[in-house]
Amino acid sequence: MNKPHHTRGKVILAGAGPGDPELVTLKTVRYLQQADVVLTDRLVSNELLEAHVPERAQIVYVGKQCRRGASTPQETINELLVEYALQGKLVVRLKGGDVSVFSNILDELHTLVEHQIPYEIIPGVTAALGASAYAGIPLTARGYTKAVRLLTCYKSDVITDAYWEELARTDDTLVFYMSSETLDHIVTNLVQRNIAADKWLAIAEQATTSLQHVHITSLYEYERTLKGREFISPAIVIIGKVVRLYEQFQWRANSNSREHYFKPLVRQDIDEPATNGLLRHGELPQHIPAADDTAHQPVLLPASAAVVQTNTGPQAENAVKEHEHVSRA
Ligand code: SAH
């Protein structure tokens, strides 16, 4: 337990990359190897945790906030960060993809600053970059486009009419996170506004994982080609002229397995009391907090890890008190 002083009592906010466990920085790997506690999101590769988190470290699963619930699970995550850090532990807060792209990092930063807890922010490969690379779609290919936009349309009303006009007109490549369930809505809005026919759509399911599957289609053919299809989560949408480069440069065969790389969990109604919020050694939480993803969200749990599920107010308190008892065997 003779760790260098500077690694104690600190929070590392680190990106785990989009799925392929090798798509992670050396820096994040080093911190995982040194960690006392890893607070991990759902979309983090089990293989990554298994490979780099030492047996002595605790892995704590923290789900995302349920939009329908009155509870505020983010507060629980904040509390856990503070609690562990004030015990002098090196805490790695691991988030899928990059830490800052469509994540709750701001809340966590406010909390850390408020409690004067030192932290570092280590970037990760965000899903847009992972998916486009593994599909052979250069997002800003010269001669095709000069820019890329990272967007979400997780609910059908997050984009205004005026902005749809703009999105239909721009030559920028559009990447939509958390939007596979609103895909019909996206296509309809762009087609209604006469988006150019040479801008195509790609949707990458479980991108960069061994179960990656990429579909591409003309937006004007979408009704026939992809409409009604249920995409395996997580999935990301790319729209633009660059999409057809896939036909030339794709380098990974599609997986036709419909398996989930990130294990799906049973979803229960938020109001039902589920467990006491505490799970041990690979138990699957029955009460899944809805995610930062609108799709039925696969969740990955480390097989040998102890898990604290943090989802409701009173449970949050228990989780903070009881997490001490949760450790890897
Ligand atoms: N911080 C993450 C994004 C979190 S939002 C990042 O930087 O990538 C969750 C959304 O990211 C999912 O709904 C999906 O649109 C996208 N996503 C994450 N991992 C993905 C993957 N392996 N394949 C496809 N999309 C993915």
Structurally, how many domains does the chain consist of? 2
54, pLDDT greater than 90: yes
Q: Is residue 278 part of a domain?
A: yes
Please tell me whether residues 295 and 279 are part of one structural domain: yes
Q: Within 10 A of 253 (CB to CB), how many other CB atoms are there?
A: 8
Over residues 64-105, the pLDDT tens digits come to: 634 434 333 789 999 999 999 999 999 999 999 999 999 989
Q: Within 10 A of 55 (CB to CB), how many other CB atoms are there?
A: 8
What is the pLDDT, as a whole number, of residue 87?
Answer: 95
What is the pLDDT, as a whole number, of residue 177?
Answer: 98
Query: Strand 235-240 vs strand 200-205: parallel, antiparallel, or unpaired?
Result: antiparallel
Domain limits for position 277: 5-126+260-325
287, pLDDT greater than 80: no
8, pLDDT greater than 90: no
Q: What is the pTM of this model?
A: 0.82
Measured from the CB, is residue 207 less than 6 Å from ligand 1?
yes
What is the pLDDT, as a whole number, of residue 6?
Answer: 42
Q: Is residue 254 part of a domain?
A: no
291, pLDDT greater than 90: no
Please tell me whether residues 169 and 27 are part of one structural domain: no
- Rounded Cα distance between 115 and 107, Å, is 13
Over residues 120-140, the pLDDT tens digits come to: 999 999 999 999 999 999 999
227 is catalytic: no
Please tell me whether residues 26 and 85 are part of one structural domain: yes
Q: Is residue 112 part of a domain?
A: yes
Beta bridge partners of 142: none
64 is catalytic: yes
Query: Strand 278-279 vs strand 307-308: parallel, antiparallel, or unpaired?
Result: antiparallel
Lowest mean pLDDT among 49-58, 89-98, 279-288: 279-288
Q: What is the CATH number of the domain that holds 197?
A: 3.30.950.10
Please tell me whether residues 235 and 131 are part of one structural domain: yes
Q: φ and ψ at 235, to 5 degrees?
A: -135, 150
Q: Is residue 210 part of a domain?
A: yes
What is the 3-state secondary structure of 139-151?
CCCCCCCCCEEEE
Atom of ligand 1 nearest to the CA of 294: 13
Query: Could you say which DSSP state residue 104 is in?
Result: -
Q: Is residue 118 part of a domain?
A: yes
Please tell me whether residues 10 and 112 are part of one structural domain: yes
Those residues with Cβ within 8 angstroms of residue 133's Cβ, 6 or more apart along the chain or in another chain: 208
209, pLDDT greater than 70: yes
Measured from the CB, is residue 16 less than 6 Å from ligand 1?
no
Over residues 150-204, the pLDDT tens digits come to: 999 998 888 999 999 999 999 999 999 999 999 999 999 999 999 999 999 999 9
- Rounded Cα distance between 15 and 23, Å, is 10
What is the pLDDT, as a whole number, of residue 266?
Answer: 40
Q: What is the mean pLDDT of the chain?
A: 81
Measured from the CB, is residue 206 less than 6 Å from ligand 1?
yes
Question: At which of 200, 223, 249 does a domain end?
Answer: 249
Please tell me whether residues 174 and 81 are part of one structural domain: no
Please tell me whether residues 119 and 55 are part of one structural domain: yes
Measured from the CB, is residue 289 less than 6 Å from ligand 1?
no
The catalytically annotated residue of 36, 41, 98, 293 is 41
Contact 205, 212 (CB under 8 A): yes
Contact 17, 24 (CB under 8 A): yes
Those residues with Cβ within 8 angstroms of residue 215's Cβ, 6 or more apart along the chain or in another chain: 202, 203, 205, 225, 226, 229
300: CA distance to ligand 1 center in Å?
14
